[in-house]
Amino acid sequence: MATVPAQRAGDRPSTALLTDQYELTMVEAALADGSANRPCSFEVFARRLPDGRRYGVVGGMGRIPDALARFRFGEPELEIVSRFLDAATVEWLREFRFSGDIDCYREGELYFPGSPILSVRGTFAECVLLETLVLSILNHDSAIASAAARMVSAADGRRMIEMGSRRAHEESAVACARSAYLAGFDATSNLEAVRRHGVPGAGTSAHAFTLLHTTDGGANEEAAFRAQVAALGVGTTLLVDTYDITQGVKNAVAAAGTGLGGVRIDSGDLGVLARQVRDQLDVLGATGTRIVVSGDLDEYSIAALRAEPVDSYGVGTSLVTGSGAPTAGMVYKLVEVDGVPVEKRSAHKQSRGGTKRAVRLSRASGTVVEEVLYRAGTPAPDPGEFEARELLIPLVRGGKIADDLPSLEDSRALLARNLVSLPWEGLKLSHGEPAVPTRFAAAAEPTITGEGWRQ
In the region spanning residues 215 to 254, those forming contacts with a copy of itself, defined by CB under 8 A, are: 215-216, 218-219, 223, 226-228, 230-232, 242-244
User: Site map for a copy of itself, 62-101, x if CB under 8 A?
Assistant: -----x--------xx--xx-xx-x---------------
As beta bridge partners, residue 362 has: 368, 387
Q: Cα(112)–Cα(330) distance, rounded to whole angstroms?
A: 11
Using an 8 Å Cβ cutoff, are 158 and 311 in contact?
yes
- 212 forms part of the interface with a copy of itself (CB under 8 A): yes
Q: 261 or 381, CB closer to a copy of itself? A: 261
Question: Residue 269, Cβ neighbours under 10 Å: how many?
Answer: 10
- 422 forms part of the interface with a copy of itself (CB under 8 A): no
Contacts with a copy of itself in 144-163 (CB under 8 A)? 163
Residue 205 beta carbon to a copy of itself: minimum distance, rounded to whole angstroms: 6
The residue range among 285-293, 318-326, 391-399, 418-426 that interacts with a copy of itself, by the rule CB under 8 A, is 318-326
Residue 279 beta carbon to a copy of itself: minimum distance, rounded to whole angstroms: 22
As beta bridge partners, residue 102 has: 120, 396
Which residues are CB-neighbours of 282 under 8 A, at least 6 positions away?
none
Residue 184 beta carbon to a copy of itself: minimum distance, rounded to whole angstroms: 20
Phi, psi for 349 (deg, rounded to 5): -90, 175
Phi, psi for 378 (deg, rounded to 5): -105, 160
Q: Cα(71)–Cα(97) distance, rounded to whole angstroms?
A: 8
Among 54, 106, 121, 140, binds a copy of itself (CB under 8 A): 140
Among 8, 47, 195, 363, binds a copy of itself (CB under 8 A): 195
**Shortest CA distance to 292 belongs to which of 387, 377, 187?**
187
Q: Which amino acid is at 211?
A: L
The residue range among 112-120, 277-285, 325-333, 397-405 that interacts with a copy of itself, by the rule CB under 8 A, is 325-333
- 454 forms part of the interface with a copy of itself (CB under 8 A): no
Question: What's the DSSP call for residue 162?
Answer: E
The residue range among 19-27, 45-53, 275-283, 423-431 that interacts with a copy of itself, by the rule CB under 8 A, is 19-27
Q: Cα(153)–Cα(416) distance, rounded to whole angstroms?
A: 10
The H or E element spanning position 105 is strand 101-105
The residue range among 112-120, 203-211, 372-380, 412-420 that interacts with a copy of itself, by the rule CB under 8 A, is 203-211
Residue 42 beta carbon to a copy of itself: minimum distance, rounded to whole angstroms: 7
* Strand pairing class (392-397; 101-105): antiparallel
Contacts with a copy of itself in 346-365 (CB under 8 A)? 347-348
Residue 29 beta carbon to a copy of itself: minimum distance, rounded to whole angstroms: 4
Q: Cα(120)–Cα(355) distance, rounded to whole angstroms?
A: 9
Q: Cα(165)–Cα(62) distance, rounded to whole angstroms?
A: 20
The residue range among 152-160, 317-325, 406-414, 443-451 that interacts with a copy of itself, by the rule CB under 8 A, is 317-325
Q: Cα(409)–Cα(404) distance, rounded to whole angstroms?
A: 14
Q: 25 or 367, CB closer to a copy of itself? A: 25
**Which sign does the torsion angle of CA 417, 418, 420, 421 carry?**
positive
The residue range among 48-56, 287-295, 333-341, 400-408 that interacts with a copy of itself, by the rule CB under 8 A, is 333-341
The residue range among 23-31, 94-102, 397-405, 444-452 that interacts with a copy of itself, by the rule CB under 8 A, is 23-31
Quote the distance between the C-alpha of residue 256 and its chain's center: 38
Contacts with a copy of itself in 172-191 (CB under 8 A)? 172-175, 189-191
Contacts with a copy of itself in 266-305 (CB under 8 A)? none
